[in-house]
Amino acid sequence: TDRLDERPRNPDRRIRQPYGGSVDTHNKAWENVMGPTMGGKIERGYLNTKFWDEIDQIRERHNVTLDPVKDMRHTKRRIEGTKSRSLPPIEVLKQRQFPEMSIHDQAIGLIESANAESLFGVIHPFASLRRKPDSAECLGVIERVCNNDNFGIQAASVLHYMRAHRLERTRAHYLPCFRPAALGARVDMVDKLAEWMRADGMELGPPEKCARVLACGLADMRTNATLEFETLRAKGSPLTVDAYNGMIATYISAGEVENAELLRAEMLSGGVPPDSVTRTLLLKVFASGGAPEKVEAMVADAGAPGGAGDPGPGYEALVEAYAMAKDPAGVLSAWDRGMEMASRSGGDRTGVCHAAIKAFGFLGDVDRLGDVLERMGALKTRETYVLAVRGFLAADHPLIAEEVLKEMVAGG
């Protein structure tokens, strides 16, 4: 079938329809087939560049790689796509307009409902807007979507759109994108944002550099995180909470409790207040280091009036800490208290139960592992069964593991 987003070379030829029949271009103008402005290349979402001129002249599509960042790749996809494509045709995009909404609100809705492929595809979601958003409107969209849990992919897509359209970009557009990418351990995305900033003639400041320390630390790239952190400290550059969090994250795998405490003391003496990420990372360090007394102190602090936050995750870390300290009674006590706290506050009990399953499996206590499974009842998920099977196998009880698998299959 002839493509409908390509102008006919011969205006007298008949346009074939997908279900048979045809229409004369004399009787139905091209503007009526595509809409009053659908023939314009700028309506597809990008500038009228040489790239689009070539696309209009040849039938075969170019292979376009818009960004090397994973989750953002667009490879070998035709503009018109197939029936299973994820990129909607431009005529469908143009119908998704809400005249009663502002451009800002429409843009946020389009970005939040798009997947990663379409965010960096040939046709950007903003193509369906009735006009191109300006720099200020794009900044508002970036600030809004950066609060979403998407590792900064949506915000980076807005920046990508601004670069394609040569919209004015300032440091205020880039800065909100670094922290979400860093919290997702996306070192590649942080580096890409830094590359774009330099291309726009901007120097990286302390927040951007500290975000890379956080990304490297959460990605378990200890050498890189340490090098970045020490370089910033040697140059006298201000260290933000992200830099300290990145270094604390490097202590999790080895359970380096003393190093984590020293770094926390340095933070406080330097006037850098810890945040919720700091608390979460410290809990993980103390748990993997087998320091239940320190986790107990943090849980008590969180549960006090005006405390540091929700004590729920603390009980999961407490269960792990007692397991690493080889204290089955402590694991049982922490699990019971966690279940009681969750029931009293109406919170989720699955997390602390999964922590107990892993703990009793690590300790080889199959009786208590079975008690946890029985007490969970209808709370069991696929992850619950997987953890239980691993625990029974680690405790050298393959027959019980087989029974758990049968129960999982029977339960769908």
- Name which of 13-22, 66-75, 90-99, 180-189 the model is least confident about: 66-75
Cβ partners under 8 Å of residue 71, min gap 6: 116, 151, 153
Distance (Å, whole) CA 179 – CA 190: 9
Predicted TM-score (pTM) of this structure: 0.72
324 with 288: CB under 8 angstroms? Answer: yes
pLDDT for 48: 46
Look up residue 199 and give its two tokens. Answer: 């291309």
103 with 131: CB under 8 angstroms? Answer: yes
Q: What is the pLDDT of residues 348-390, one digit of tens each?
A: 889 999 999 999 999 999 999 999 999 998 889 999 999 999 9
Nearest alpha-carbon partner for 335 in 347, 317, 362: 317
Distances (CA, A) of 399 to 109, 207, 385: 52, 54, 14
Distance (Å, whole) CA 412 – CA 410: 5
Q: Say yes or no to pLDDT of 51 above 70.
A: no
Mean pLDDT of the chain: 80
Percent above pLDDT 90 for the chain:
56
Distance (Å, whole) CA 197 – CA 318: 42
- Name which of 6-20, 60-74, 147-161, 186-200 the model is least confident about: 60-74
Look up residue 204 and give its two tokens. Answer: 């990286």
The helix, strand and coil proportions of the chain, stated in percent and rounded to the nearest 5, come to: 60, 0, 40
3-state class (DSSP) for residue 22: strand
Look up residue 318 and give its two tokens. Answer: 């407490």
280 with 268: CB under 8 angstroms? Answer: no
Q: What is the pLDDT of residues 293-344, one digit of tens each?
A: 999 999 888 765 455 666 678 899 999 999 999 999 999 999 999 999 888 8
